[in-house]
């Protein structure tokens, strides 16, 4: 059921398709308020409106276009890494710095426990408020962020701890300073090294999965996406600018990129899709995070039973097969 307290939040950018839902939420909130103030029995009217609201949410979200899914993935109220750390973990000790340049706040790393499972958490950190987003560079990591992630992954390997990566970035930071400090090399080294790390790796796209910025912590034995997340070689806006030099073509670019969870599951890019509550994770964050937690623990249980040599080999083959055209370009062992 939608949270009727959201009526005053307005519409996030690109979320105009939610206006009928928000109008019904406002009506429902007003009706409930009248009932409380006047002691009038409006139970039947309230229940009818709730059913109508639920049906509208289901209908709207069943027919989302790829661009609309991108907008949902970027929603202001969608749970971020900090929410997952606070609500999903029983213990968390943050680990800082790359011991080369500094501590990039766009990526958070730390020793974590959820239930009986202990693991290393690596996650893009976006922030919620304007101040947090500025501090975390909107989730766009510098090379020191990727070096920090890799350093902590190697530590996890020594400690025989599995690794859980939460991906949520529009892309790695492309500034001059980042390039001078080796942005491309840092991402490439992460990708290469993650193929050989001898502990289980679970990666989940919880929001935006943009290009090499996502891949820098995205090589895993199991790669999942939340239902309304997206995962793409480039943002729809960037694609439209390159191909058509026209921002109005952004929805067309989103369609062409095949960046949604159902598309990527069909293409074999991801191993599974984590369902979200009706109306998206921003409507019921705790429910959405519980689903992610359940998937992580199930994957860790499964991977713990796989011998290490086989684990590493299957991870390598899994990514080698991405993009394979059957009968034409087979995987070379």
Q: What is the pTM of this model?
A: 0.87
Average pLDDT over residues 190-209: 96
Question: How many Å is the Cα radius of gyration of the chain?
Answer: 21
- Residues with Cβ within 8 Å of residue 295, at least 6 apart in sequence: 204, 224, 272, 274
Rounded Cα distance between 29 and 8, Å, is: 11
- Section 176-195 average pLDDT: 95
Which pLDDT does position 2 carry in this prediction?
A: 40
Helix (H) or strand (E) holding 245: none
- In percent, the amount of the chain with pLDDT more than 90 equals 68
- The whole-angstrom separation of Cα 330 and Cα 263 is 22
pLDDT number for residue 10 = 43
3-state secondary structure of 236: helix
pLDDT for residue 47 = 80
pLDDT digits (tens, 9 = 90+) for 87-119: 999 999 999 999 999 999 999 999 999 999 999
Q: How many CA atoms lie within 13 A of 259 on its CB side?
A: 33
Report how far residue 20's alpha carbon sits from residue 13's, in angstroms, rounded to the nearest whole number.
16
pLDDT (tens digit, 9 = 90+) per residue, 44-56?
Answer: 777 887 888 888 8
The owner of tokens 């070379």 is: 332
Which residues lie below 8 Å from residue 142, measured CB to CB, with a gap of 6+? 104, 106, 172, 173, 175, 177, 178, 181, 183
Residue 58 binned pLDDT confidence (cut-offs 50, 70, 90): confident
Res 5: pLDDT: 42
């Amino acid at each position: 059921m939608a949270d009727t307290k959201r009526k005053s939040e307005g519409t996030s950018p690109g979320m105009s398709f939610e206006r009928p839902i928000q109008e019904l939420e406002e009506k429902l909130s007003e009706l409930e308020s009248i009932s409380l103030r006047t002691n009038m029995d409006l139970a039947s009217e309230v229940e009818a409106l709730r059913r109508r609201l639920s049906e509208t949410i289901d209908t709207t979200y069943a027919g989302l276009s790829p661009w609309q899914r991108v907008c949902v993935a970027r929603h202001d109220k969608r749970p971020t890494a900090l929410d997952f750390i606070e609500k999903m973990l029983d213990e968390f000790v943050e680990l800082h710095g790359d011991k080369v340049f500094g501590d990039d706040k766009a990526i958070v790393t730390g020793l974590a426990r959820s239930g009986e499972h202990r693991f290393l958490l690596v996650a893009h950190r976006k922030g919620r408020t304007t101040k947090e987003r500025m501090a975390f560079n909107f989730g766009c990591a510098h090379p020191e962020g990727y070096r920090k992630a890799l350093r902590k992954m190697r530590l996890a390997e020594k400690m025989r701890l599995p690794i859980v990566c939460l991906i949520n970035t529009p892309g790695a930071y492309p500034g001059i300073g980042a390039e001078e400090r080796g942005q491309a090399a840092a991402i490439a080294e992460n990708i290469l090294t993650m193929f050989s790390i001898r502990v289980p790796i679970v990666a989940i796209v919880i929001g935006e999965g943009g290009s090499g910025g996502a891949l820098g912590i995205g090589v895993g034995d199991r790669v999942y996406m939340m239902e309304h997340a997206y995962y793409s070689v480039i943002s729809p806006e960037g694609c439209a600018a390159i191909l058509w030099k026209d921002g109005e073509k952004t929805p067309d670019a989103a369609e062409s990129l095949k960046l949604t969870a159902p598309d990527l599951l069909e293409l074999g890019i991801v191993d599974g899709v984590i369902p979200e509550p009706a109306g998206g994770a921003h409507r019921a964050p705790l429910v959405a995070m519980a689903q992610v937690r359940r998937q992580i623990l199930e994957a860790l249980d499964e991977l713990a039973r796989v011998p290490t040599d086989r684990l590493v080999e299957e991870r390598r083959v899994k990514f080698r097969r991405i993009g394979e055209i059957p009968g034409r370009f087979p995987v070379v062992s």
